[in-house]
Amino acid sequence: MATLLMVESWTQSTGLALPPLIRELGHQYVLFTRDPALYPPATAGAHPVVRDADEVIVVDTNDRASMTGAVIDLVCRRRIDGVLTTCDYYLEAVAGLSGMLGLPSAPPEAMRRATRKDEVRAALRRAGLPGPRFAVAGSWDEARAAVAEVGFPLVAKPVDLNSGTSVLEVHDEAGLKDAFWDVAGVERNTRDQPLARLLLLEEVLTGPEVSVEAVTRGGETTVVGITAKGVTGPPSFVETGHVFPAPLPAGVAAEVTEHVRAALAALGYTHGLSHTELKLTPAGPRIVEINPRQAGGYIFDLVHLVTGTHPLELLVDLALGATPRVGAPPADAPGSAAVSFVLSPVDATVTGVDGTGALDADPAVRRWELHVPGAVRRATDNNARLGHVLAVDDGDRAGERAAAAVRSLRLRLSDGGVVAPA
């Protein structure tokens, strides 16, 4: 049995799945958190992040010196075999603690570079990889000047947030002003960490969106698969669902794979999982964002169902320095798997959902979940999901099946209205 140190976690998706998986693999973990109340009770009781921990240590996880002292105290009384997190905001800290303990990790400077969207763009440009025109603005004057370099329309986004937060397509100076102050006016993220308050302005990329799920060890990257992604149109970019594997011609898949390998090498990313989002433009694959961690949005479930390889098991393997176990598909594996998200088209209070009985009766639906009743908002980022439906198909129609299941639902509103999910 190995003992892992988990530094915070997401509360949903991977945050719910990883804790019991660590136990199933025969290991245990110690949790570092600045506040256990960050992890609200789940349906069946305490949140798994807190519930499944062998020990919970309250420490200021936003302060490196405090965590260093807590780690020293911890290793004086018990062995720690690996350090991990599922939360983007602590990836650099995990790399630093791993290095201090002599445990496997990407270099902290590479992890910092990979978690900053502006530094990713700069690194890819230095490596000569094709990408969109871009500029970075820290003031309103810089934002206006950047338009001359990038041009309208453009995509504006913060350099250090995730889940599609504050990502907007901008067509004029009024929209640019809204985007700039949306980023400049927010001082801290949801984990109370200071933000850079820099706006990244990029040329709009056109074409279907995919993501590459990969594992890197010793600088060698193995691609586990490619996911097709559904994304709403502008002004916001909200993920509506995922399909695995993406139905791509072999030549296109090979080109995407090599592009991602070159990009990770350009960042100096030598150890860890990665979830790289790309647009398949008429000129070839172009990177949207690189995420130096496992995919969220239940993509890890889709990969596991179809390939037999569990990305979160790979996360544990990497933390322990073991060779990642990229397995073979089980005999009964579906040909495709998909998740479709339930999103509200309006700001409202949902009192109930009609149509869930049909989900239970649908043989293609493996799982569904809805977080209602309660107040909801029209989706402007990935945090506005009301739930999801996960479906499978022996062929390549899982995406159609999951989307049809969501379209069949109806949201009942407190004002008496009934609406279909967005």
Domain ranges, ordered by start, for the chain: 3-103, 133-203, 209-320, 336-419
CB-based contacts of 301, cutoff 8 Å, min separation 6:
17, 337, 339, 390
What is the average pLDDT score of the chain?
96
Per-residue tens of pLDDT for the chain, all 422 residues: 999 999 999 999 999 999 999 999 999 999 999 999 999 987 668 999 999 999 999 999 999 999 999 999 999 999 999 999 999 999 999 999 999 999 999 999 999 999 999 999 999 999 999 999 999 999 999 999 999 999 999 999 999 998 889 999 999 999 999 999 999 999 999 999 999 999 999 999 999 999 999 999 999 999 999 999 999 888 888 899 999 999 999 999 999 999 999 999 999 999 999 999 999 999 999 999 999 999 999 999 999 999 999 999 999 999 999 999 888 899 999 999 999 999 999 999 999 999 999 999 999 999 999 988 999 999 888 888 999 999 999 999 999 999 999 999 999 999 999 999 98
Under CATH, which number does the domain 336-419 receive? 3.90.1170.50
**Torsion over CA: 236, 237, 239, 243 (sign):** positive
**Domains 3-103 and 209-320 alike in fold:** no
* pLDDT at site 43: 66
> Residue 205 gets which letter from DSSP?
P
Under CATH, which number does the domain 133-203 receive? 3.30.1490.20
Q: What digits encode the pLDDT tens for the residues 227-264?
A: 999 998 888 888 999 999 999 999 999 999 999 999 99
DSSP-assigned states of every residue in 39-98: S--BTTBS-HHHHT-SEEEE--TT-HHHHHHHHHHHHTTS---EEE-S-GGGHHHHHHHH
Cβ(98)–Cβ(318) below 8 Å = no
Under CATH, which number does the domain 209-320 receive? 3.30.470.20
* pLDDT at site 236: 82
The class that CATH gives domain 3-103 is: alpha beta
